[in-house]
Structure 1
Amino acid sequence: MTTTPSTATRNVTVIGLGIMGLPMARNLVTAGHHVVGFNRSQDRIDQLRQAGGAGAPDVAQAVRDADVVITMVPDSPDVEGVVTGPDGVFENARQGTLWIDASSIRPDVAARLAEQARAKGLRPLDAPVSGGEQGAIDAALSIMVGGEAEDFEAARPVLEAVGRTVVHVGPSGSGQTVKAANQLIVAGNIQLLAEAVVFLEAYGVDTDAALKVLGGGLAGSKVLDQKGRKMLDRDFDPGFRLQLHHKDMGIVTSAAREAGVAVPLGALVAQLVGITVNRGDGGLDHSGLFKLVEELSGRAGR
């Protein structure tokens, strides 16, 4: 039986096998794609191999035979570093290759790199994700995609192998703009949840019961569901590191300023995230904002 293009097995390269990239690559293997991974640390490549994927010694070799290249690295300079230059994606991928940047970067950088990619004959999509490490593990990510509609449809089977909610939101750069809005909402929710938990504990309330009933009403949210327990347990092992959210809030505030949009609460939360990172907690999960609220309330260590 001939397989249609929408369901065909693809040669997929994943560049960046970190907290998010490695489980995404594993899910692509599970979906039946041929997956090659590249990462600066060899142990992550070895973990992908154990899951049925393959590894490459550098970006150039990783992308040569790829139908789809996914980049999942921390910031705008990191994306530019792996896609530009003689050893990067643009110079070594075949014409017609889909390039999906799942990183969270500045919208203007995404749009500029998309233009460069098209000039090299590639098909770029900015497709940042939301859902954290658990969402990546469960293939339940929310993916907001910018780029040409035709390229989005071509990439849909690959995106649906790692995400549950996959939506085309507009031209190149739009995915990153929606992701910035996502991070604004998430940071605000985490900060308010942290304040609520400290408030409840100060009054000796049964916090497990309190979060259960709050979660069933209008105050309920995925942030409460996923981060409330971490705050109660003081478990801040990273699913999404504060230093990355600090970077994302910088994107939000900068883009809002350029657009002439007021984000007063967002600006305040951005400052609180920055303070927490500057105090040495950037490696914690973003629910680690709770620590700052505890300390400001004089309740740390109680």
Structure 2
Amino acid sequence: MSKIGFIGLGIMGRPMAGHLLEAGHELVTYVKYGSLDEGLAAKGMKEVDSPKAVAEQAEIIITMVPDTPDVEEVLIGEAGIVEGLQPGTLVIDMSSIAPIPTQAFAKRITEAGGEYVDAPVSGGEGGAVNATLTIMVGGTNEGFNRALPVLEVMGKTITHIGEHGAGQICKVANQIVVALTIQAAAEGLLFASKAGADVTKVREALLGGLAQSKILDVHGERMIKRTFDPGFRIRLHQKDLNLALESARSLNLSLPGTANAQQLFQACAANNGADWDHAGIVKALEKLADHEIGA
């Protein structure tokens, strides 16, 4: 078993850390992102006062924080991980951040004597709780092989995409597909509802045909039952789509569907919905239609 530093105990990070503790690993954390609750503390997780102190005590470090600047602060900011990094330490960033800065972070950690992999996840809170996350990994073959036993404790589908940054590229692509599929499910159910059909039965029928998807299953039910507690917050999906659109501009690439989904998320945020689950995109469409699903 390993001594693991885990920074980022939010909606996703808390159950992920719990699985590692249950697997017998020792965990230490720096609490700025999320909180060390009684459950994790009872399982033996300990707290220190800086990322540097985490690095001084860990042979593997996992970060699961909200955005690129947060990863930068934890890794190379004042009293950051790089200041306390031990030779050979494996750093696994499981946050969803920009690919190009990821490559720069990997270089800094490597130059400091560590090994770096980017390993963003998909599957939401349910995947984190059930240890069924999809994990997309960028890094060297050696880094991937070292990280794999730890990642297998938290995820089910683990794929080595390529070199440093490739995991984050894959995650951006994932977030594009997820956003547009949620939007499609919302539009289909909204159409059926306003046209007078029983939207519950429409969803049931669609789940048996080509339109079937996990998103229609999970988020379609959220839309019908009006359960918009996260989950995965709209503001975080906005962040991911910003990464997609910024990268698209640098690639001279047009992503019109992504831009449209981002505008619908923005409409939700403008109506105090930044912390709704991303299935709440349906509320923006409902406002445009002057109709609520199931009404």
Q: Under a length normalisation based on structure 1, what TM-score does the superposition of the two structures give? A: 0.93
Contact 1:25 1:37 in 2 (8 A): no
AA partner of residue 113 (structure 2): G
Q: Which residue of 2 aligns with 1:179?
A: 171
2:14 counterpart of 1:22: yes
Distance 1:259 1:42 in 2: 35
- Residues matched between the structures, number: 294
Distance 1:146 1:81 in 2: 21
**SS of corresponding position for 1:161:** helix
Distance 1:58 1:253 in 2: 34
Q: Which residue of 2 aligns with 1:236?
A: 228
**SS of corresponding position for 2:254:** coil
AA partner of residue 265 (structure 1): G
Deviation at 1:89, TM superposition (A): 0.7
Deviation at 1:118, TM superposition (A): 0.7
Cα distance change of structure 1 residues 267 and 41 upon mapping to structure 2, 3 Å threshold: closer
Q: Which residue of 1 aligns with 2:203?
A: 211
Q: Which residue of 2 aligns with 1:127?
A: 119
Contact 1:17 1:38 in 2 (8 A): no
Deviations 1:214-273 (A, max 9, x none): 112111111112111110011100110000000000000111111122212112112222
Deviations 1:67-99 (A, max 9, x none): 110000000001111111341111112111110
AA partner of residue 127 (structure 1): A
Contact 1:94 1:122 in 2 (8 A): yes
Indicate the percent of aligned positions where both proteins have the same amino acid.
41
Contact 1:46 1:55 in 2 (8 A): no
Deviation at 1:45, TM superposition (A): 4.4
Q: Which residue of 2 aligns with 1:34?
A: 26
Distance 1:163 1:42 in 2: 21
2:284 counterpart of 1:292: yes
AA partner of residue 57 (structure 1): D
Deviation at 1:155, TM superposition (A): 0.7
Deviation at 1:30, TM superposition (A): 1.6
Distance 1:298 1:122 in 2: 55
Correspondence list, 1:32-111, <5 A: 32-40=24-32, 43-111=35-103
2:268 counterpart of 1:276: yes
- Structure 2: give runs of 5+ residues left out of the alignment: none
- Deviating runs (4+, > 3 A) in structure 1? none
2:218 counterpart of 1:226: yes
Deviations 1:24-56 (A, max 9, x none): 000111222112222227843433113443332
Deviates more, 1:160-169 or 1:55-64: 55-64
Distance 2:10 2:188 in 1: 32
Deviations 1:85-139 (A, max 9, x none): 3411111121111100000000011011111111111101111000000100000
**SS of corresponding position for 2:62:** strand
- Structure 1: give runs of 5+ residues left out of the alignment: 1-8
Q: Which residue of 2 aligns with 1:5?
A: none
Q: Which residue of 2 aligns with 1:154?
A: 146
Cα distance change of structure 1 residues 42 and 70 upon mapping to structure 2, 3 Å threshold: closer
AA partner of residue 135 (structure 2): I
Distance 2:155 2:80 in 1: 26
Q: Under a length normalisation based on structure 2, what TM-score does the superposition of the two structures give? A: 0.95
**SS of corresponding position for 2:92:** strand
Distance 1:42 1:296 in 2: 35
Contact 2:123 2:132 in 1 (8 A): yes
